Structures are given as C-alpha cells and as structure tokens.
A and B are shown apart, each in its own frame.
Chain A
Amino acid sequence: MSQPPTTRPDSTWRFDLTSIPLINRVLRWRPLQFTLVLITLGFFLLAILTAFFGTPAGNRNFSIIFVWIVWWALVIILLIPALGRGWCAICPIPAPGEWLQRQSFVHPRRRTLWTLGKRWPRRLKNIWIQNFAFLGVALFSAIILTRPLATGAVLLLFIVLALGLSLVYERRTFCRYVCPVGGFIGLYSMTAPIELRVKDVEVCRTHDTKDCYLGNEQGFGCPWLVFPGSLTRNTYCGLCTECLKSCTMNNVAINLRPPGTDLLVAKGRRIDEAYKAFIMLGCALVYSAVLLGPWGVLKDAANFGSLPTWLLYATGFLAFNLLVIPGLFFAATSASRRWAGLTHIKPKQYLIDFAYTLAPLGLAAWIAFSLGFVLVNISYALPVIADPFGWGWNLLGLRDVPWTPIIPAFVPYLQVPVLLAGLAFSIHTAWRISEQQARQRTLQAVLPVAAYLTLATLGFLALYMA
C-alpha cells in the first residue's frame, strides 16, 4: 500500500491503483478520455435528435428511456457509489466547448486558448446555482422525465450553456459552478471508495512549475480549477486525470480508500454544500411520494394539471426542500449542541458540520428510489434500441419486445437493505463527526442527529412498504 502523505488529515489506509502497471498505462493514455467521451456524446446526440424528431410517446422514445432510466440508473446505482465523479470524466456536455477552447481533441497544443478566459465571479464561486438549477429541474421533473421534447430542450440547453461558458470563462466553469447534475455528484462523491490525490504534498509545495494546474506538453492544466496538491476531498475533482498525465514528479495517484473518508474532512465544509445534502434528501422523499406513490392528486399537480394546483405543489416542494428538511435538521443539531454542551460552537457551523452525515443516507435513498422505477421499466430499452425515433424501425428485431417488469414484487426487499445500509453509514459518519466536536460527550452529540436520520429512513420505508 502507498504511504499516506504527511499532511493527510487522516491515517486511514490507501491503495494506489496507479501502482498497477496496466491501470497506470491506461490512465496515462491520452486518447482514453476522448474515446469514452465520443461514445457518450454519440448517445447524447441521438437522445437530442430523438427527443426533437421522434415519437412524443415517452416509453417509445430513445431520449426518455436512455436518459432517465438507463443513464440515470448507471450514474446513481453504479458510477457514483463506485467511482464518485467517474461520470464527470466522460460526460459529453462540456466536451464540445472544451475542444473548442483547447483547439484540440486529445493532445495539448502550443496555442492560445480560444476563450475570453474570464474568471467566474467570486460571489458565485459556490454551488448555489447548482442547487437551484437542480431544484428547477426537479420541480419540472414530471414534465421533463416524461416528455421527449422537454428532455431534449433541457439537454440542448445544457450543452449550449456549457459551450457558451467555455468561450467566455476559463476551463470547465460550467461543470464547476453551474451543472445541476455535477452538484449532487460532487456531494455524493465524498462517499466513494476512490480518490485522486497527490502522493506527497511536500513535493507539490516545493515544485516550481505546478504543471498539474498550468499544464504542459503531457497534459492540460486542471480543467476543474483545482490545485491537486491541495485536494482533500473529491467534491470538485472531475477525475479527468490530466494532472496524472502532466505531473512531472509522478506525484499523483488514484487511490482506493475507505468509503466516506471525505465526509470527515472539516476543511471546506460550507452552507451551500450542506443545502445540497438537504435538497437531495428532500427531493428523494418528494419523488418517492409523487412518482412512485398512489396519490393521483400529487401526480396531477406535478404534471401541471392546472396552474393553481401546480403553484401550490411548487410552493410545497420548495418549502419542503428549503425550509422543512433543513429546519428539522437544525432542530436536531440544536438539541445535539445543547445536550453535548457545545454552545460555544456557532449554530450555523454546527449545522454545516453535521449536514454531511446526510450524504450516505441521501445516496442510498436515491438508489432505492431508482430501483423502484428502473427495474420495472428497463425493458423499454430494447424496443427503443430497435426503433429509437418510434418511426416503425425494427433494428435487431427487438421492437416488439413487450414491457416486462423485473421482479417488481421483490423491489421493496432490495430497497430496504439499501436504505438500512445508508442509515448505518450515516450514523457511523455522525458519530465520527461528533467525535471531532466533542470527544467526551459524543453520545449526547450524536443521538439527536441519529434520531433525525432514523426518522428520515422510516419515512422512506413507509413510502415503499406501508
């Protein structure tokens, strides 16, 4: 195993995957990311074309099935838990803008970047835009998830925005500060068992040229505006591996590590990230009730049954995510703070510190929610491969494969263990954060937060099984 850097905030084990020669060679192969992005870009463009020119019947249109069922399942169930921001490394949305900006598909060129290269405004250097962008998409999800035109419009908006921002602002400003998907991937990447870090921060500290950030002939400077030498969390590292390629000191590693290590890193905790945790938990609850629940009145309201009911739904949705969920958590942390005798810590900071305990449960909740509709509807993927536009094609003879839900009665029995695992992970994190605050009164500090987590989990269980 690799030795942890001298200034690593914890002494947990790491295993450097780049110490395996094959993995090292693959990750340093320059065309790797381009190749993978080309594949995802192909799917992306097909999704846009089918969205605009294909059948309006969602379950017969490639865009709906492959974006909201296949891609979503891959990201939330597989990629985030295993690879953190692995999707960001191969996401097609920023690619055209980045290629234009760099004037290159693969190799760094000695050219001035084709961008105004402006810096993102300091006041916006947070994830509030991502938070509200996600809320916006979530609020209209009953429309976006079911109408191909709406899906196409959203995808096109993202790619045009990313392209435009690439021409005005430096590097991957869209990914770092605007992308609503990147916001929650960044939060949940903190739970992942994988990380990109430098091997020895002293090497970075004394290294003059900082090629990892500025770039050289071997690789571009970090597109995520991150200095790898100071990386302590996964949140803003897109795993593009440019720093791995450009580092002249062979000081960058991709490590296996205990899941959730980043959740215990105190440096960098912020209220915008805390709110991302609240929003994701709240939206998972709302989605479970509205989309998977039996209440037609909720579905009608979310589906724009009428403007007054939608406005009522929107008000409730926003209040729930921005006030109720955070408010109840604030009550829990206030009780924790008083009971543990930690009133010298400001309430806001205390809330922020403990908000990160919601990440594992939130991710588990999204996995459980996704299982609830992916297994039932994944069989639509075969007919839309055969007939992506719904024009009557029959490629590979798969068009008439009937809708076949996969073990639908068993889905709750998958959801329950996932939720319980998330709860256990969150309670473990809450204890560890409580120890950071009050080694002597950890139990008093953790109990109110554990109660909140348990109640939240009970809410999901009630929605899925009661």
Chain B
Amino acid sequence: MDPRRVTRSLAAAVATALLALAALLVPLPTGATAAGEREITLDARMFAFEPGRLRVNQGDRVTVILHSTDVVHGLYIDGYGIDITAEPGRPAQASFVADKLGKFRYRCSVSCGAMHPFMIGELIVGPNIPFGRAVASLFIVAIGSLVTVALRPVNQ
C-alpha cells in the first residue's frame, strides 16, 4: 500500500470535509434589504395551510392572522417561538420580526385530526442563503468524494 497515496487520499477527505463545513458555517455578509411590514392571512383547514408557503425578507415585521375554516387549529412556527390557536370564526394573531434567514416550517399545534402531524407549511425568510450554502456544500462533497476515492491506494 503506497503511503503517499494514503496521505493524499486522507488529505483530500479532510479538505473536502473542511471546505463543506466552511460553506455551511462561515459567516457571510448579507446585503441590507429593505425591511417592511407584512400582514399575512393564513387559512387553516384539515390538513393544510393556505397559503402553504410564505416568503418574506429578512427584517420584515410579520403579522400572521390565523383563520380556522373547519376545526380548532394551532400555528407553531419553528425557530420563532410562535404558538397561537384559532377557532372557527375566532382568528388569532401573532407578530414577529423575521430576523433569521432560511426555511422554517410552520405546523398545526392543536390535534385536529388524523393527518395533524403532517399539517405543515413553509416560511422562507430571504435571501435563502442557507439553501445556497447547502448546495455549495453538495458540490464540494461530490467533487471532493471523487478526488478522495480516486487518490486512495488501490490493491493490486
């Protein structure tokens, strides 16, 4: 087994891992986007939210008004600590500043029926840099994996 190939392969693996981690974690300057006020009405029904996907800018002050159209539904937004409950005919409201970038799921927090655990929507706080980072890491890992395995010592 050629020790030089072992070293090169190991170095490639370590470099790949470090580069991928850097792509995921290294702080990046984010361009200032004009933060605004957003008022969004969410209709909740068994077992979906309408709209199912919300897009806001980082820094927006978001007010969510939850309408329940059939049974009691809750709204829990991952990462933002929002947890409100609405009954049919009695909407609920919550406000928060969308200060974290990325995709955050919102989900029903009140047992509303069979598919309750899968009653999910998506809040995307743009620009969605975390997704960009993940894609960058993906290509780093793909190429790095090829290089790592190509450099590894081959049994004759």
Chain A: residues with CB nearer than 8 A to chain B?
Answer: 11, 56-60, 142-143, 146-147, 290-297, 299-300, 303, 373, 376-377, 403, 405, 408-409, 411-413, 416, 420, 423-424, 427-428, 431-432, 435, 442-443, 446, 450, 453-454, 457-458, 461-462, 464-466
Contacts and interface: CB of A to CB of B under 8 A. Distances in A.
A413 B23 CA distance: 13
B150 A443 contact: yes
Given A57-B111, A377-B117, A294 B49 contact: yes
A435 B115 contact: no
22 contacts: A142-B118, A143-B114, A291-B118, A293-B120, A296-B50, A299-B47, A299-B48, A303-B47, A303-B115, A373-B117, A405-B76, A409-B80, A416-B137, A420-B137, A423-B145, A424-B16, A427-B149, A431-B150, A457-B138, A461-B138, A465-B102, A466-B103
Contacts, number: 134
A424 B52 contact: no
Interface string B16-28: 1000100010000
Contacts of A420: 20, 137-138, 141
Nearest to A298: B48
A344 B16 CA distance: 35
Instruction: Point out which of B52, B104, B116, B141 has the most chain A C-beta atoms below 10 A from its C-beta.
Output: B141
B148 A428 contact: yes
A11 B145 CA distance: 22
A290 B130 CA distance: 23
Contact of A412 (B48, B109, B130): B130
Contact of B48 (A300, A428, A453, A461): A300
A405 B78 contact: yes
A418 to B, nearest CB: 12
Given A296-B49, A416-B24, 19 more contacts: A146-B116, A290-B118, A292-B105, A295-B52, A296-B45, A296-B48, A299-B115, A299-B118, A376-B107, A403-B109, A408-B105, A412-B130, A413-B24, A424-B145, A450-B146, A454-B138, A458-B135, A465-B103, A465-B128
Contacts of A432: 149
Contacts of A427: 142, 145-146, 149
Interface string B42-61: 00010111101100000000
Contacts of A58: 114, 116-117
A180 B147 CA distance: 37
B100 to A, nearest CB: 8
A59 B111 contact: yes
B30 interface: no
B32 interface: no
A408 to B, nearest CB: 4
Nearest to A150: B114
A428 B145 contact: yes
B79 interface: yes
A258 to B, nearest CB: 12
A457 B20 CA distance: 15
Contact of B142 (A291, A293, A450): A450
Interface of B: 16, 20, 24, 45, 47-50, 52-53, 76, 78-80, 100, 102-105, 107, 109, 111, 114-122, 128, 130-131, 134-135, 137-139, 141-142, 144-146, 148-150, 154-155
A345 to B, nearest CB: 21
Nearest to B24: A416
Instruction: Point out which of A432, A454, A465 has the most chain B C-beta atoms below 10 A from its C-beta.
Output: A465
A446 B146 contact: yes
A465 B131 contact: yes
A278 to B, nearest CB: 20
Nearest to A419: B138
Nearest to B105: A408
Nearest to A423: B141
Contact of B114 (A303, A423, A465): A303
A464 B120 CA distance: 12
A432 B20 CA distance: 23
B1 to A, nearest CB: 10
Contact of A408 (B48, B79, B138): B79
Contacts of A462: 131
Contacts of B114: 56, 58, 143, 146-147, 303
Nearest to A462: B131
A466 B138 contact: no
Nearest to B141: A420
Contacts of B78: 405, 408-409, 411
Contacts of B111: 57, 59-60
Contacts of B134: 412, 416, 461, 465
A143 B134 CA distance: 33
A413 B145 CA distance: 20
B52 A292 contact: no
A454 B140 CA distance: 11
Contacts of B121: 294
B52 A458 contact: no
A428 to B, nearest CB: 5
Nearest to A429: B149
